[in-house]
C-alpha cells in the first residue's frame, strides 16, 4: 500500500507558516481583516476521514461560534466532534460520498447555526468579497465556509470544504484553514482564483459549488430543526 506524508503546496500558493504567509497575516491583523482567524485557529480540527472535510469544517466552525451541541461529547463535556453531526446524512454515507453544499448547510442548521448559502455563479465574485470582508472582521461570527474543487488550485483531490480565516485586502488573498491538515497546511489563495474553483460543478448535484455564511442561532438545542 502506498502511503503519503502530506503533499507539497503548489508554489503559487502561500503557506501560512512561511515568511511571506506570516507577513500577510500580520498585515491583515493590523487592518482588522483577520479577527476570525483567532477563534477558528483555536478550534481548527483535522477531518477524521478522507471524505469528511465538510464535517471537519463544521466541527471547527460550530465550536468557534461557541455553539452548545446540547448533548454530551465525552463524559460531561458538550463539544462538537464529527460523530455528533448525525442529522441530514448518515456518517457512513458521508465517509463514502462526502457532502454537498446543501447537505453541509442542513447539518449546520440542525446543530445550532443560522445559515446563508450562495452558489458561485458567474458575477458573484463581488458578493463573495463582501461576505469575506464581513466574516473576517469579527471574532464571534458569522464565519465563512468555502466549497471548491482542489484541482483549480493545483492541488490533488476533488471537492473540498474549509473555513476562511483572514483576508489580505491589498493582495486580495484569503487564508484557507485547510481541515485536511494531514495533506496541506493553512495557505493563502487569491480570492478570484478561489471563486473560480467554486464555480466548478459538483458531480453529485450538477450545480456549481459556493460558500456558506454561518452564525450562531439563538434557538435552544431542543428547538433546533431536525432532518431525517
Predicted pLDDT at 93: 76
Distances (CA, A) of 131 to 62, 66, 76, 120: 18, 20, 36, 12
Annotated catalytic residue, options 53, 87, 106, 135: 53
Predicted pLDDT at 222: 82
Predicted pLDDT at 96: 75
Catalytic status, residue 106: no
Catalytic status, residue 160: yes
Annotated catalytic residue, options 88, 110, 178, 195: 178
Mean pLDDT per 10-residue interval, the chain, length 228 residues: 94 98 98 98 96 96 97 96 85 80 94 97 97 98 98 97 98 98 98 97 96 94 77
Predicted pLDDT at 228: 55
Predicted pLDDT at 161: 98
Do 171 and 25 contact (CB within 8 A), yes or no?
Answer: no
In the chain the domains, ranked by start, together with CATH numbers, are: 14-218 (3.90.70.30)
**DSSP codes joined into one string, 90-158:** -HHHHHHH---HHHHHHHHHHTTEEEEEEE--TT-HHHHHHHHHHHHT-SSS-EEEEEEEGGGGT-SSS
Annotated catalytic residue, options 88, 135, 160, 187: 160
Catalytic status, residue 168: no
Do 228 and 125 contact (CB within 8 A), yes or no?
Answer: no
Predicted pLDDT at 89: 73
Nearest of 21, 2, 17 to residue 189 by alpha carbon: 21
Cell 448525525 sits at which residue? 86
- Alpha-carbon Rg for the chain, nearest whole angstrom, is 17
Amino acid at each position: 500500500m502506498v502511503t503519503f506524508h502530506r503533499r507539497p503546496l503548489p508554489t503559487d500558493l502561500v503557506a501560512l507558516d512561511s515568511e511571506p504567509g506570516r507577513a500577510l497575516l500580520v498585515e491583515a491583523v493590523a487592518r482588522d481583516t483577520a479577527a476570525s482567524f483567532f477563534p477558528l485557529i483555536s478550534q481548527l480540527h483535522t477531518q477524521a476521514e478522507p471524505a469528511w472535510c465538510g464535517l471537519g469544517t463544521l466541527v471547527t466552525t460550530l465550536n468557534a461560534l461557541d455553539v452548545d451541541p446540547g448533548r454530551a461529547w465525552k463524559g460531561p463535556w458538550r463539544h462538537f466532534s464529527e460523530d455528533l453531526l448525525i442529522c441530514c446524512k448518515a456518517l457512513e454515507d458521508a465517509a463514502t460520498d462526502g457532502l454537498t453544499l446543501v447537505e453541509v448547510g442542513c447539518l449546520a442548521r440542525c446543530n445550532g447555526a443560522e445559515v446563508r448559502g450562495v452558489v458561485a455563479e458567474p458575477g458573484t465574485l463581488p458578493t463573495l468579497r463582501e461576505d469575506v470582508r464581513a466574516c473576517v472582521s469579527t471574532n464571534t461570527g458569522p464565519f465563512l465556509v468555502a466549497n471548491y474543487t482542489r484541482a483549480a488550485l493545483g492541488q490533488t483531490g476533488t471537492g473540498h470544504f474549509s473555513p476562511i480565516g483572514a483576508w489580505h485586502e491589498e493582495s486580495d488573498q484569503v487564508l484557507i484553514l485547510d481541515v485536511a491538515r494531514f495533506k496541506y497546511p493553512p495557505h493563502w489563495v487569491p480570492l478570484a482564483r478561489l471563486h473560480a474553483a467554486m464555480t466548478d460543478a459538483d458531480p453529485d448535484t450538477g450545480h456549481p459549488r459556493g460558500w456558506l455564511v454561518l452564525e450562531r442561532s439563538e434557538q435552544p438545542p431542543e428547538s433546533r430543526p431536525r432532518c431525517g
